[in-house]
Each structure stands twice: as structure tokens, then as C-alpha cells.
């Protein structure tokens, strides 16, 4: 989360003086290369959608939806009639450009114009649409409409936490996992834990570029991809970080206290942690004391602005004659993320550990911190061990 610091040195969200309430979705057609999204109409799409769903071998496609399955056309058409008249969710039909037939639906829902948040949901794709280029492009068209036409700042994806295909699709499209809301709902007589994902307007440019590259003629031939969407986005992300400003990493000094303090508060806020001022002061003193096994490094840009920090400590081990180095804290300022700061700090700690005859550098992160894990998976190996804690 982006933040600043107020006069009490408390981290607070950035000001949005020009923010205005966003408009509601309108009944417009969104055109793509392989498909188009049309406002759902029972007269125009009902029979085609029933025909598409009639080809399903079983009803597994409705398991994680709050509606369906439908045993007959009359009940299905009744559902489509109501969906077509709904303002929230606001349903679109996904129409294949080649055949001109509607093969599925999806919607914009939980529309919050005041806060600029909107969710894609009620994704009801028939077997004819699932796992096709049209299915992926449909999501891209709806995202683009939400961010660039309507001007929303947050685009959400939620699903039953047990719905593996939906969770994998969210990550493939570029959503970030935010956690699981336990026992959030009851549907079809069973409880539901809900997994939350999102894309923000700051992340949209990279997500958009990945979609456009994936859909380009150079990558897509007759609806068959050469390179996967996630792989393209990952490559673009690495390219984006290459021309980043120079990052200098050095030990923290007494003059860095104010800049470090601001980032430290942001770090604690991220993990919803409360640490007393006395412990914060003691941590700072220990890092500056060469007699202590605790160290601190800061990452700085060419103007001397602190972009991030890391704290680490050395300890003995019963498994080695040499000491181990534990990287306890790592944080990059929001505006510096994706620019190689975290990677530079980790490498600096590795070099420090090597110079101090340490045989192992290790760290851990929360299981929901998917963004950090994306970096860690590239620079280190997962040990497979699970961490437990017990108060003493």
C-alpha cells in the first residue's frame, strides 16, 4: 500500500485531492479480435447460450456458482432474463466473432463508484468457450473497460477458495492474491471461504501490455499461443526493472534514522504489527553497534533517498561449525517496488554473510505475500520447512 507520514510520524494513505466518483457501466459493446462483449439480452442471446451449455457432458461447470445447474431451457431462460435486467451484477454476453454466437457470460458486480472498486464475477463460460483465446480476451476487454473507460482504480476477482481452476485463472490474468475470508458466505447449502484477488490501476499498464502481447499476431496463430500469458508478463516485468535507477546498498548510519523510521512504520503497517517505541529504539541501537550480531542495510537512489532496508542477524547452529545468517526484515518503499530494490538488498546480505564466514542465509515470509514470493522463488530455494511459534 502506498503511504506517507503525518506530523505524528504515523503512516497514512496518500492524498487523492482530484478523485471523483466513477460512472456506472453502460450498455455498450466491447469489441476484440476474437470476441466481443454485448450487454446481455435474453432475446438476442438466450437460445444461443442454452444451446452452448446443452453440449456440456455434466453439470460440473455450475459447482462453484450460486446459480444453476438448470434442468430445462425454460428455467435457464428465466435466469438469463433476470440477469439481462440486472444493474449489479451488470452482465455481458461473450460472442464469438467467427460464428456470431454467444458462448458464455460474465459481469461487473459489487460496483462501488465512490471508492472506484469493481469486481468481475458470475463468469459462466460454456464448454465451447472455456480454455480458448476468446475466453482470455473477454476478460481483457472487461478489464480495459473498467480501468480506461470507467476509470476505476481497483478491479477484483473473488471465488470459492476451493475452486482451484478459478484461482489459477486469476493469477494467470495478472491478479494478486490478497488472502482468504473464512466462512464468508453460504450457498447451495454449504459454507464458503472466499479467496480475494485484485488488480489496481497502478498495476494495469503492465497487465494490459502482457495481454496485448499475448494477443498479437506474433504470438497468436489461429487461436494457438506461442508463449503463455503469465510468461509474457513475467518477461515484461523483468524488462521494466532493467532500466531502473541505480540502487546503492550500504550499512545504515545514525544519519539515516528519520528515513528508516518512516519505512519501518510502513513495514509494520503492512504486517499489521505493533512494536513499542522502546523496542524500535533498541533495534536501531543494536544495528549501529558493531559488537552486536545484528546488522542493517539501506538501499538508496542516486539522490540519496532511501528506497528500502533489510535487517539481519547472525547466530550459531547445532548443524554447522559456522554461523548462520537470518534475514529478518526486508522492505521496499511502494514507489520503489519492481525496480530491483529487494533483489539488491538480498544480494548485499548474501555478500555480507559470505564475508563473515556464514554457511547459510535464510528467511521466511507470510504465505499470503505472493508478491514477495515471486522474487524469492527467483533468488533462493524453498526449504520445505514449516514455521511454528509458541508464546513464552
User: What is the chain's pLDDT, residue by residue, as a tens digit (392 residues)?
Assistant: 456 778 887 878 888 999 999 999 999 999 999 999 999 999 999 999 999 999 999 999 999 999 999 999 999 999 999 999 999 999 999 999 999 999 999 999 999 999 999 999 999 999 999 999 999 999 999 999 999 999 999 999 999 999 999 999 999 999 999 999 999 999 999 999 999 999 999 999 999 999 999 999 999 988 889 999 999 998 888 776 554 458 899 999 999 999 999 999 988 988 888 889 999 999 999 999 999 999 999 999 988 999 999 999 999 999 999 999 999 999 999 888 888 899 999 999 999 999 999 999 999 988 877 778 888 888 898 888 888 889 88
Contacts of 361 (CB under 8 A, 6+ apart): 324, 325, 327, 349, 350, 353
All three cell numbers of 182, joined, read: 473464512
Yes or no: say if 138 and 35 are a contact pair by the CB < 8 Å rule: yes
Pick the CATH number of 21-241 from 3.90.1150.10, 1.10.20.60, 3.40.630.30, 1.10.150.570: 3.40.630.30
Yes or no: say if 327 and 310 are a contact pair by the CB < 8 Å rule: yes
**How is the chain split into domains, by residue range?**
21-241, 248-379
Number of Cβ within a 10 Å radius of residue 98: 10
Indicate if 248-379 has the same CATH topology as 21-241. Answer: yes
- Its CATH architecture, for the domain 248-379, is 3-Layer(aba) Sandwich (3.40)
Cα-based torsion angle of the residue sequence 149, 108, 47, 101 in order, rounded to the nearest 10 degrees: 40
Quote the pTM value: 0.67
The helix/strand count (H/E) of the chain reads as: 10, 17
Amino acid at each position: 500500500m502506498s503511504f506517507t507520514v503525518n506530523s505524528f510520524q504515523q503512516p497514512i494513505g496518500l492524498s487523492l485531492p482530484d478523485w471523483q466518483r466513477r460512472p456506472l457501466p453502460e450498455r455498450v459493446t466491447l469489441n476484440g479480435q476474437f470476441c466481443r462483449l454485448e450487454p446481455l439480452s435474453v432475446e438476442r442471446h438466450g437460445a444461443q447460450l442454452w444451446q452452448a451449455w446443452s453440449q456440456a457432458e455434466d453439470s460440473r461447470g455450475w459447482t462453484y456458482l450460486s446459480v444453476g445447474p438448470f434442468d430445462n431451457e425454460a428455467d435457464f431462460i428465466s435466469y438469463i432474463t433476470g440477469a439481462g435486467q440486472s444493474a449489479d451484477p451488470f452482465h455481458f454476453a461473450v460472442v464469438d466473432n467467427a460464428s456470431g454466437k454467444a458462448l458464455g457470460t460474465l459481469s461487473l458486480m459489487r460496483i462501488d463508484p465512490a471508492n472506484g472498486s469493481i469486481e468481475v464475477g458470475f463468469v459462466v463460460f460454456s464448454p465451447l468457450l472455456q480454455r480458448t483465446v476468446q475466453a482470455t480476451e473477454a476478460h481483457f476487454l472487461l478489464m480495459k473497460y473498467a480501468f480506461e473507460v470507467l476509470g476505476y482504480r481497483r478491479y477484483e476477482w473473488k471465488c470459492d477458495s476451493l475452486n482451484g481452476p478459478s484461482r489459477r485463472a486469476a493469477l494467470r490474468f495478472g491478479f494478486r492474491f490478497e488472502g482468504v475470508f473464512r466462512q464468508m458466505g453460504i450457498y447451495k447449502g454449504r459454507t464458503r471461504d472466499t479467496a480475494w484477488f485484485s488488480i489496481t490501476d497502478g498495476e494495469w499498464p503492465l497487465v494490459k501490455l502482457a495481454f496485448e502481447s499475448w494477443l498479437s499476431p506474433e504470438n497468436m496463430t489461429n487461436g494457438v499461443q506461442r508463449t503463455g500469458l503469465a510468461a509474457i508478463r513475467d518477461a515484461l516485468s523483468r524488462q521494466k526493472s532493467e532500466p531502473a535507477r541505480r540502487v546503492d546498498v550500504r550499512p545504515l548510519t545514525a544519519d539515516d534514522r528519520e528515513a528508516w523510521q518512516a519505512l519501518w512504520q510502513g513495514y509494520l503497517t503492512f504486517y499489521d504489527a505493533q512494536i513499542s517505541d522502546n523496542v524500535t529504539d533498541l533495534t536501531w541501537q543494536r544495528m549501529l553497534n558493531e559488537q552486536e550480531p545484528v546488522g542493517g542495510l539501506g538501499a538508496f537512489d542516486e539522490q540519496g533517498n532511501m528506497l528500502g532496508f533489510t535487517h539481519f542477524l547472525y547466530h550459531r547452529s547445532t548443524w554447522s561449525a559456522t554461523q548462520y545468517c537470518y534475514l529478518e526484515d526486508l522492505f521496499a518503499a511502494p514507489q520503489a517496488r519492481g525496480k530491483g530494490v529487494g533483489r539488491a538488498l538480498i544480494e548485499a546480505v548474501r555478500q555480507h554473510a559470505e564475508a563473515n564466514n556464514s554457511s547459510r542465509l535464510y528467511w521466511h515470509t507470510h504465505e499470503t505475500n505472493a508478491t514477495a514470493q515471486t522474487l524469492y522463488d527467483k533468488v533462493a530455494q524453498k526449504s520445505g520447512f514449516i514455521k511454528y511459534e509458541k508464546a513464552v
